[in-house]
Amino acid sequence: MNTELPGIIATYLLTLVIAIPLGKYLAKVFAGEQVWTDFLKPIESGIFKLSGINPKEEMNWKQHMKALLSINMVWLVYGFFVLIYQDKLPLNPDGNPGMAPDLSFNTIISFVVNCNLQHYSGESGVSYLTQHFVLMFLQFVSCATGIAAAVVLFKAFRDKTSAKLGNFWDFFVKSITRLLLPLSLVIALILAFNGTPTSYEGKDQFISVQGDTVNVSRGPAAGFIAIKHLGTNGGGWFGVNSAHPLENPSYLTAMVELIAQVIIPIAMVIAFGYFIRRKKLAWMIFGVMTIGMLLLMIPTLISELGGSPAIEKMGISQATGAMEGKEMRFGPALSAYWSTVTTIISTGSVNSMHDSTMPLTGLWQLLGMMINSFYGGCGVGILNYFIYLIIAVFISGLMVGRTPEFLGHKVEAREIKIAALVTLLSPFLILSGTAIASYVFTNNGEAAWAVQPQNWLNNPGFHGFSEMLYEMTSSNANNGSGFEGLGDNNVFWNVATGFVLILGRFLPIIAPIAIAGLLGAKKYIPESAGTLKTDTVTFSLMTFVVILVLNALSYFPALALGPLAEYFTMLK
Amino acid sequence: MKKYLLQSIRLTVVLMLLLCVIYPLMVAFGGSFFKGNGGGEKLFKNGKVAGYALIGQSFTKPEYFWGRPSAVDYNAAGSGGSNKGPSNPDYLVVVSARIDTLLKYHPYLKKADIPADMVTASGSGLDPNISEQGAIMQIKRVAANRGLTDRAVAELVVKNTVGPLLGMFGPSVVNVLKLNLALDELRK
């Protein structure tokens, strides 16, 4: 206990020490100002030349979205076929089979959209070729897609009036060369030094001390695990993700993986402020996000460190907290911290099994994913937050009786409609998805799918409902963690979450870019005494309230049926 | 749109070279200099591989320290947790049975001496570690089954306990495989 709490405080402080300068650096990179990494320019020019791209060609917001969607479509088609035919392709030392079409459909969407929901297990479900040339590749580029999209939004507010918003390929490639690749290399080497495998050798076999024959899955995992965290992807090399001792060998690597997943989301907020020359706004946003994070994390820590009430009754010592599904080398405190971080930003990597956490912890995990913008995923966190900002501007404008404005641009009916629609999209996908799943579970239990609906749930009662709610929430949030007891590798879950994933990714990217593009092209209105200021504490509070009210209204009934009901039954 | 598609395909191919060939090969090159040469650190007994330092293995014999319960029986080719929810009645029966088993083999223990990690399944099913208390509670049994003094075994436990990172951050743990290998060394 006394060494576990300092561990998480140190982790968070180190995160800030890296993330804040990184944000300032990113603002300069994307503004095209001089930075120390400019020695990489020749590599970038080479990439552009080979791809037939002119990085100086300016695009408007629609062209940006066309470029974004084109390249994502290419990845979807390419990956789908590699997954199906991986057994016939090289680099498959363990002889793993090709994927069924429904599983391939789900997996490829899941990785393209930066979610990394995994209905397969890394040890037996994919080849090394798939791991590197599809999954790890997508971990890099899906994160870069999110960052590039966010930069398009930044660009719309940098100058007074501008329909020209830079070049998508330029932002996209620079995200990789100036940020993701160099940092991943450093992180991968730290992991390798601590014992994560890097070589291409297949499974190993040995005789254990007691004489059992043991097979050990291995593979070149270190590079994969680095970008999995840095890019808020979260998909594991091994089935149990970062709980696996080779994927996350020690407390030190756990700290590194935790820091890696939070630095870009925080840096993007700082970069926003520096890029549009409104630093105070960035710090206000950062403040709201941090308070939001703490409000989810502190109760999570309390519920996990308190241990399981049921095991308490058996008279067992839970000196450090609840241990089911947790690894000894991390302990409950760091695991609780991790479960908060991985759900508020959209990583979804896990170092403990969320299905086995306490009922209230599950509640905070779900809520973190539903809000999805307390820091949020790579690039998309700030985009999600932007939607809340627009709604807050609108409501505040109505309250004080002024035309709503954001950063000198009038916010009018069209923008508000887009923001409102995308705000409603999340509850629609999550709740109707869970409702349909519950219906199928109850009324169609005998369906002849790979896992029969009646066998979907690993736990009875309210917790079982939470398993389905979690899966839909995680898909919509592009998070990728799961209550993994759910029997999800069958046609229903593969297809249903596939659609939720793709809608939950692209609409929430296109909507804020569209709003920003529309706003940016409008005439700039200089600030006056009558302007609603968005970089004040009052307005930040307003935004915070908007976030809470919207999410509470949307999700309280579902949360009451799942984790809250389980919590109260355990009190008895 | 056609222009963007063409650029997309070319850019994808170029980036693949950078991200899927050059990058992992650089990592593999770096990793080959570290412990285990990038293939995972192995531990040896009488010159033969006895296991991986980071991968827990099953210990059930009375002369060895036991590890944590595993939902996958320490199958290192397919990791997994129990994914049992905290209120699941079947799960609570299993935990209760684990407590009884421990008490049967360690009649000198009170329930409050048993730490939670010894009766709950780990996240990976391959947890190589137990808590300090989890090792201490087994000392008497192991010593009795090996004809050693409690003190000699306790000393080994202390030697194999790894404290928090920099003495400040995280839990203290005991690597079960390393401890058992050290025990076997002692017998010689």
Residue A383's pLDDT band, with cuts at 50, 70 and 90, is very high
Average pLDDT of the segment spanning A202-222 = 93
Q: Are residues B127 and B170 in the same domain?
A: yes
**pLDDT-derived band of residue B188, with 50, 70 and 90 as boundaries?**
low
Find where tokens 């006056």 sit: A528
Q: Is the pTM of this model over 0.90?
A: yes
* pLDDT, average across residues A88-117: 94
User: CA-to-CA distance for A524 and A560, rounded, in angstroms?
Assistant: 46
Using the structure block, give the residue that is written with the tokens 């804020």: A512
B144 plus B114 within the same structural domain: yes
| Rounded Cα–Cα distance for residues A478 and A509 (Å) | 12
Are residues B125 and B168 both part of a single domain? yes
| Closest CB from A210, A328, A484 relative to B171 | A328
Contact B117 A355 (CB under 8 A): no
pLDDT tens digit sequence for B89-123: 999 999 999 999 999 999 999 999 999 999 999 99
Question: Are A355 and B181 in contact (CB < 8 Å)?
Answer: no
Residue contact A209–B16, C-beta within 8 A: no
Minimal Cβ distance to A239: which of B42, B78, B165: B78
pLDDT of amino acid B187? 67
Task: Look at residue A146 in the predicted model and tell me its pLDDT.
Answer: 96
Q: What is the pLDDT of residues A259-285, one digit of tens each?
A: 999 999 999 999 999 999 999 999 999
Kindly state whether residues B59 and B32 are assigned to the same domain. no
In a domain, B47, yes or no: no
How high does pLDDT run on average in chain B? 93
Facing B88 at nearest CB: one of A240, A352, A463: A463
- Collapsing DSSP states into helix, strand and coil, what is residue B169? strand
**Residues B91 and B155 both lie in one domain:** yes
Mean pLDDT within A102-109: 95
Identify the CA nearest to A345 among candidates A238, A242, A459, A229: A229
- The answer on B91 and B20 residing in a single domain is no
pLDDT score recorded for residue A210 = 93
Of B28, B50, B124, the CB nearest to A199: B28
Segments forming the whole domain that contains residue B171: 54-187
Interface of B with A in 112-171 (CB under 8 A): 112-117, 119-131, 133, 164-165, 168-171
- The single-letter code of the amino acid at A46 is G
- Select from A169, A199, A208 the Cβ nearest to the Cβ of B31: A199
Residue A188: its chain B contacts at CB < 8 A?
27, 30
Position A1 pLDDT exceeds 60 = no
Q: In angstroms, rounded to a whole number, what is the distance separating the alpha carbons of residues A258 and A297?
A: 14
Same domain, B3 and B87: no
- Give me the amino acid identity at B75: N
B73-86 mean pLDDT: 92
The reply to whether B90 falls in a domain is yes
Pair B60, B118 in one domain: yes
Nearest Cα of chain A lies from the Cα of B120 at a distance, in angstroms, of 5
Inside any domain, residue B46: no
CA dist., res. A334 & res. B61, Å (int): 32
- B31 domain residue, yes or no: yes
- Give the DSSP per-residue string, B26-42: HHHHHHTTSGGGGS--E
Check the CA dihedral B11-B14-B16-B19 and report its sign: negative
Residues of B with Cβ-Cβ distance to A206 under 8 angstroms? 42, 49-52
Residue showing tokens 């930003």: A345
Q: What is the tally of structural domains in chain B?
A: 2
Query: pLDDT at position A194, please?
Result: 95
Residues in contact with A428: Cβ distance below 8 Å, sequence separation at least 6, in sequence order: none
pLDDT at residue A350 is higher than 60? yes
Classify A407 in phi/psi space as left (phi over 0), alpha (psi -120 to 50) or beta.
Answer: left
Residues B69 and B140 in one domain: yes
* Residue A403 confidence class, pLDDT cut points 50, 70, 90: confident
Residue B48 belongs to some domain of the structure: no
* A454, A446 contact by CB (below 8 A): yes
Bridge partners of residue B162, in order along the sequence: B173
| Chain A environment of B17 (Cβ under 8 Å) | none
**A467 to each of A434, A458, A475, how far by Cα in Å?**
10, 8, 12
Q: Is the pLDDT of residue A43 over 60?
A: yes
Q: Does B98 touch chain A (CB under 8 A)?
A: no
- CB-CB neighbors (< 8 A) of A317 in chain B: 112-116, 133
Distance from CA of B79 to the nearest CA of A (A): 6
Coil, strand or helix: which one is A213? strand
- Within this chain, do residues B63 and B129 fall inside the same structural domain, yes or no? yes
B80 contacts A10? CB cut-off 8 A: no
The answer to whether B65 and B179 are in contact (CB under 8 A) is: yes
Q: Tell me which chain B residues have a C-beta less than 8 angstroms from the C-beta of A244.
A: 79, 124, 126
Do the beta carbons of residue A112 and residue A76 sit within 8 Å?
yes
Question: Is residue B45 a part of any domain in this protein?
Answer: no
Question: If you measure CA to CA, which chain B residue comes closest to A252?
Answer: B165
Name the residue facing B27 among A189, A326, A329 (closest C-beta). Answer: A189
Confirm whether B25 is domain-assigned. Answer: yes
One domain for residues B126 and B85: yes
Judge: B82–A356 Cβ closer than 8 Å, yes or no: yes
Task: Give the residue from A238, A294, A286 showing the smallest Cα distance to A265.
Answer: A286
What pLDDT sits at residue B167?
A: 87
Shared-domain flag, residues B30 and B107:
no
Contacts with A, B 53-82, CB within 8 Å: 53-61, 64, 68, 74-82
Task: Verify whether the Cβ–Cβ distance B11 to A71 is below 8 Å.
Answer: yes
